[in-house]
Structure formats: structure tokens, C-alpha cells
Structure 1
Amino acid sequence: MACSSSQPVLPAVAAPPPNPTAPKRAETPKSAGGTVAGLKLVKKMTVPAGPKSLRVLPDGKRVMTCNLYGYQVTFIDAKTYEILKKVPVGGEPVECTFTKGGKYAWVSLYGSERVGVTSFVVVIDTETYQIVARIPAGRVPKVVAESPDGKWVYAANWLSESITVMDAEKLTKVKDVPVGRVPRGICFAPDGKLAYVCIMGGHSLAVIDVENGHQKIRDIETGYNPRHVCVSQDGKLLYVALNASGTLIKIDRASETIIGRAKTGTQARSTSLSVDDRYAFVCNYEDNNLGVVDLEQMKQLFTVKTDVHPIGVTTMPDGKHVWVSNYRPSTVYVFEIEYAGEPAGGS
């Protein structure tokens, strides 16, 4: 359920220090830092129908698209832009995540909106391109996210008001956890102790205690229609895209309060942070563009044109490129990130 002002005030939770045993994002390349001055379109490619989302594999060598209406996922070479493999998944793929350093890709299948029909998350071996598991989820699973220690994968069940917890080692379902109406975006804190789930049908993030039985323990007020959530590398900040208002908000994790707002475009959807956490790239769905938000100023600096309905975005580990998937006409754009004082195509 959505959090409201009538609920009791909960004690603040200090943001814990990063877990030294948890996987860390690659360090920002020195050549990739600086002030973002523009985005230059360097490649446009056609993919199977309805690329709902896309994400770069951890090693940065391939990008995977989930092609909702094509009933398959696509692996693309990140340098040559060649489509390496199309993998049928037996349903409509929505979102993906990776475990074991990218060996396994976890893909949510849209399933059916009819009551009683089981939906699945499929697991693909990214070396052999074979499906190695089909794990039952709730009705219409969407975002899937991996815990930093690689032990768990969560799936947000759009119509079941729950998340499905899966064991990433055993490739099995553990339990369903009620969280609230229309859950979607998910992220884990860097130390893996807490997870945050966007309650898109309400006004909040559901906070999940990962260590103690994967239980919902409270809500954090966000404003209406939160869709996507990201966490900073140091674990101090959450960034939440509010779809209905076209807004990106900044939340302090320690106090669990909103400390900044940026107006983006119409229907702010999928969001990806730059490798230095200075910027957010936001899909402005109805405006057909990608917005670049300065996260210190909390201001959208500029937008770049995409095809119709940009819906997925991923930042490359080199910090030099950002990829965007567009519903129509089923395209992927690759933008080079231009930094002030650095010519396009520079090192």
C-alpha cells in the first residue's frame, strides 16, 4: 500500500557502508569523467519487434535486448553492433538481469493477465545461449534484479502485488512477498541488506529486509506512480523516476526523505546512471527523447531525439556510450557521451 502522511514516523536508518565482499562496479575510466556536453548518435540498428528493455552484460562486451513482441532476446556485440544471437524464450520478454558475472541472464516473461495463469522467469546460459531454467513467478513479472552478493534475484509481479524471491545458485523459487499495488522497479542497496521496490500503483517504495526472510518492513513516500529506482554506488542516495508527473526525485537513504526533484519529460520511465553517478539518463516516453539530468543540481540539462517511445536505457561500463531501445520502429540507438573539452571520438 502507498505510504501516507497519516502513518507513524519511522526511525531513520543510516545508510550502511558498502560490503567489501560484494561485487563492485568497475572504476570510472579517467577519460570518461567530466561535464557531459552532449550525446552524439553513432549507431542506429533494427532489432526484433518491441524492444521493451536492454542491458549491458557485466563485462561490457555484449548488450541484450528483450524483444516483447518478437518473443525472443537478442545479444548484440557492443563494438561491432552485430547481432550475435536471437534466443526464443517461449513468451514475451520484459526485463533482464545477470548473475555469475554475466554467465546467466534472467528474463521475465509477461505471461498472461488472466487470473490463475502462471508466469515465468527464464534463465539463459549466455555462453551456450540455452535456457537452463524456467522459474514460476507471480502474475506478469516485470523488473528483475540481482543482489550484490549474487545469492538472490527478485522479480516484481505487476498484477500479483508481490515480488518473487529466487535462489540464484539453485535456480529455484523461494517465496512470494506481498509489497503493494503494481510493483515494478527494484534495486538493492550496495551491501545487499535492503532492497527497494517501486509501488507504481501508489506513492511509495517498499523496503525489503533481505537478510531477515525477505520481508517488507516499511514504505518510503515518493509521490505518485514511481516506476524505476537506482541507487548510487556509495549507497547514500536513491533516484526514482515518477512516470505520471515526469519527475526524477532524489532520496537520502539515511533519513528516507526526498531531498531533490528534477522535472524531466512526459512519462519518465527507465533510467540509468552515468558511471561516475553525476548524471541520469532518463527515457522520456511520450516526448520521444532521452533526457540528461545533472544529479547535483537536479536539473534536466538537455534532451536528444530518439525514435518513438524510448523505453530501455543502459550505460556502458567504459562511461563513453549509452544505449536506448525504442518501441517503434523497434530500434536501438547508441549515443556517444560528449564531455566538455573533449572532441567527439576522443580517447
Structure 2
Amino acid sequence: MEIAGLITVVALTTGIALLNQRGTTGPADVPAPTTAINVGNRPGALALSPDGRYAYLIIHNDNSTLEPGTVTVVDAGKNTLTARIPVGINPYDVATAPDGHHAYVTNRASNSVSVIDTARNTVTATIPVGQTPGALATAPDGHHAYIITNNPTSVTGAVSVIDLARNTVTATISVGEDPYGVAVAPDGRHAYVTNHDSNSVSVIDTARNTVTATIAVGSGPYRVAVAADGLHAYVPNYDSNSVSVIDIARSTVTATIPVGNYPYDVATAADGYAYVTNYDSKTLSMIDTACGTVTATIPVDQTPVLVAIAPDSHHAYITNNESNNVSTVDIGSG
């Protein structure tokens, strides 16, 4: 499913009307979602700034395949609109640099990545990449970004590797069929790519830019996240209503956790929980990764897609594609 268009930047303070209801992470006290402001037509991709002050949301427009999208920037301190930044055509995903100085946007119809200087609120570079770029992830050291690309005439997909200092593609790595999600391990040594039609995950050695392992997972894997301790990766399997748990050291699946219908995205928190959006169930599954079980199922809104966890692990933010809004959940910490 393609979700693309405009990007809206929403401040994550109470002054911008993202109201939170307090909860805890324990199964006896289920975190309660609060539906946030209407953010526009069919919100999709979501990324937080490293300090947690801003959420970058890609909003789908009906004409997004024909016209450039834009980035709307809101100043959290002043609660005012500060800029609208044009990007490419049909923007799809967004990620921020670890130092917060730049944001990166994949433009599917432009076959490019827009580089935004977050201090000046301007696009400072447009990087040509492979065809129909999709998900992207930045390395923890900020040196590289990894971009999913799909060639309509080829069975397999690829990952474009961008040198972020030079804003150029330095490598293209073949992966499986219809790659969908990508995540980089905390130590930066490996990247993990879900291959939706291959029912697998490609493990990329980032030093050599080669695939060193291919791990069989469930049916129709979508996104992927690596735990903060780097020991496990979590893969929602959209077509089998489960999450595959990968042992990073052994490159094997060690557990399969049932979740809701059509799990889409996953994010991990520093306190040891993983959060999975269930597209058809209209819920967020909270997984205790220590015991590998769902400890809470949290109602959200229509067709939740992307989830992001605040840097302090206090809140989760979920884009609800058909409700045109964002749910924010107080998940507590410690």
C-alpha cells in the first residue's frame, strides 16, 4: 500500500493540541490513546526529531502523483507556522538524521531523496536514487542512509546506499522480492530489509555493502525494527498476523508472536517493549520483549499504519490512515 503526499510537521507539546492521557506500561494498566488533531488526508509515514519536539508526517493528497509535495514546519515554542518546504513528487517516507540537522524524504514519482536543512527549513540537495524509492533509514553515526527501491521490470528489489556527507549514492545492493522496510542496527554494522514477496529478511553487512544472510520469516513482512540493545529484530508479518523475532547474533527466527489483523509497522522502546500497529484491527499491540507476549492491546483509530516512540519512551505516536489523524499514547517509562 502506498501512502504519500504532503509532509506536515506537528509540534509534540501540549500547546499544539496533541493531548496525552497518562498511563503505564504494565499489563494491569493499559495505556489509553487520545486522538490528536486532524492532520490532513490519509497520514502515513511518521518520524520524530531526535529531541522529540517535532513529528514529521507524510500526508496523502489525491493529486500527489502529479504535483510536488510540501513540508509544513511548525515552531513548537511559538506555536506558529514557520515554513512550507517543497519536496519531490509523491513523497513516501521520512527520516531524520541522528543529530537532527537534516530530514530526508523519499519521492516515489521523482525517483529521488530530498535533503532538508532543518535549521534553514530549505531543501539543500536532491539526490537521484533507484526507481520508486520507498522506506528509508539513517545509520546511527549519521554517515549513510539506506533507501528501498523497486524496479517494476525486475523480480528483485534493491537498496540504495547514500553517503550523507556527499549526498550521493555510493552503492546499490540487490535484495529480495518487493522490499518494503529497512532498519539499521544500533551499532551500525548491519541493515535489515524485509522482502514482502519473498517472505524473508535480507541482512546487509554495511561495511561491505553485501547481503550476508537471508532469514525466512512469516507471510508478507512489512516493516522492521531493531531493539535498542541490538540483540533482536522484530518483523510484522502482514499476511500471517504475527511478528517474527530475529536473534541478531544467529540470524534466525527464535519466536513468532501472534498479534492483530494485518500488522503493519513496529517500533521499539528503550524499556524493552515493542509496539505493533494492526491495520485491520484498529489497535496497537504492546509486546513485552522479555517474555515474547502481547501484554496489552490498545484501541486506536481507523487503519493505523506507522508508529514512532518518543526518545524518552514516554509516548507513542500512531498515524491513522483513514481517520486522517494521529493517536498519541502515554506509554510511561520506568
Shift of 1:52: 1.2
Q: Distance in 1 between the 2:330 and 2:191 partners?
A: 32
Deviation at 1:158, TM superposition (A): 3.4
Query: What is residue 64 of structure 1 aligned with on the other side?
Result: 56
Among the aligned pairs, what percent are the same residue? 27
State the Cα distance separating 1:143 from its structure 2 match.
Answer: 0.9
Residue 259 of structure 1: SS of its match in structure 2? strand
Shift of 1:43: 4.8
Indicate whether 1:93 and 2:91 are aligned.
Answer: yes
Deviation string for 1:118-164 (max 9, x for gaps)?
51111111122211111112222111111122111010113461111
Residues 158 and 184, structure 1, Cα contact 8 Å, conserved in 2:
no
Return the letter of the residue paired with 2:184.
Answer: F
Unaligned runs of 5+ in 1: 1-30, 112-117, 343-347
Q: How many equivalent pairs are there?
A: 302
TM (normalized to structure 2)? 0.83
Residue number in structure 1 paired with 2:317: 323
Distance apart, 1:48 and its partner CA? 2.7
Quote the offset at 1:223 in angstroms: 2.5
- Structure 2 match to 1:47: 39
Partner of 2:206: 210
RMSD: 2.5
- Hey, what does 1:163 align to over in structure 2? 159
1:185 to 181, 185, 195: 181
- Separation of aligned partners in 2, 1:263 and 1:81: 41
Structure 2 residue ranges without an equivalent (≥5): 1-21
Q: Which has the higher contact order (CA 8 A, sep 6+)?
A: 1
**Greater mean alpha carbon deviation, residues 291-300 or residues 128-137:** 291-300
The one-letter amino acid of 1:156's match is: I
- Structure 2 vs 1, CA of residues 232 and 81 (structure 1 numbering), >3 Å: closer, same or farther? farther
Q: Is the contact between residue 158 and residue 183 of structure 1 (CA under 8 Å) also seen in structure 2?
A: yes
Residue 217 of structure 1: how far off its partner (Å): 2.4
Per the alignment, in what secondary structure is the counterpart of residue 235 of structure 1? coil
> Matches of 2:300 and 2:187 in 1, distance apart?
35
Aligned to 2:13: none
SS at match of 2:266: strand
Match of 2:301 in 1: 307
Give, in angstroms, the shift of residue 60 of structure 1.
Answer: 1.2
* Cα displacement (A) at 1:322: 0.8
- 1:49 is paired with a residue whose SS is coil
1:35 to 7, 14, 26: 26
- Pair 1:272 & 2:263 matched: no
Q: CA deviation at 1:50?
A: 2.4
Match of 1:153 in 2: 145
Code of the residue aligned with 2:244 in structure 1: it is I
> Aligned in 2, Cα 1:327/1:76: closer, same or farther, shift over 3 Å?
farther
Q: Partner of 1:297 in structure 2?
A: 291
Alignment equivalent of 2:256, drawn from 249, 261, 285: 261
TM-score, reference length from structure 1: 0.80
Query: Within 1, Cα distance between the matches of 2:215 and 2:259?
Result: 22
Amino acid corresponding to residue 330 of structure 2 in structure 1: E
Q: Which moved more, 1:183-192 or 1:144-153?
A: 183-192
Matches of 2:263 and 2:174 in 1, distance apart? Answer: 26
Q: Is the 8 A contact 1:285 1:310 kept in 2?
A: yes
Q: For the structure 1 residues 43 and 80, does the alpha-carbon distance in structure 2 shift closer, same or farther, using more than 3 Å as the test?
A: farther
User: Aligned partner of 1:101: which letter?
Assistant: D
CA–CA distance in structure 1, aligned partners of residues 255 and 74 of structure 2: 36
Residues 1:176 and 2:172 are matched in the alignment = yes
User: Structure 2 vs 1, CA of residues 285 and 74 (structure 1 numbering), >3 Å: closer, same or farther?
Assistant: farther
Distance verdict in 2 for CA 1:78–1:225, change over 3 Å: farther
Tell me, yes or no, if the aligned pair for 1:50 and 1:68 is still in contact at 8 Å: yes
Cα distance, 1:334 vs structure 2? 1.4
- The amino acid of 2:89's aligned partner reads G
> Is the 1:54–1:325 contact (alpha carbons within 8 Å) kept by the matching residues of 2?
yes
2:100 to 102, 111, 127: 102
2:11 maps to what in 1?
Answer: none
**Hey, what's the Cα distance between the residues in 2 that align with 1:169 and 1:202?**
33
CA 1:137/1:102 → structure 2, altered by over 3 Å: closer, same or farther?
A: same
- Taking a change above 3 Å as real, the CA distance of residues 249 and 40 of structure 1, as seen in their structure-2 partners, is same
Q: CA deviation at 1:72?
A: 3.0
- Report if aligned partners of 1:204, 1:222 keep a CA contact under 8 Å in 2: yes
For 1:316 and 1:271, the matched residues in 2 are separated by 14
Aligned to 1:20: none
Question: Are the aligned partners of 1:268 and 1:283 in contact in 2 as well (CA < 8 Å)?
Answer: yes
Q: Are the aligned partners of 1:63 and 1:77 in contact in 2 as well (CA < 8 Å)?
A: no
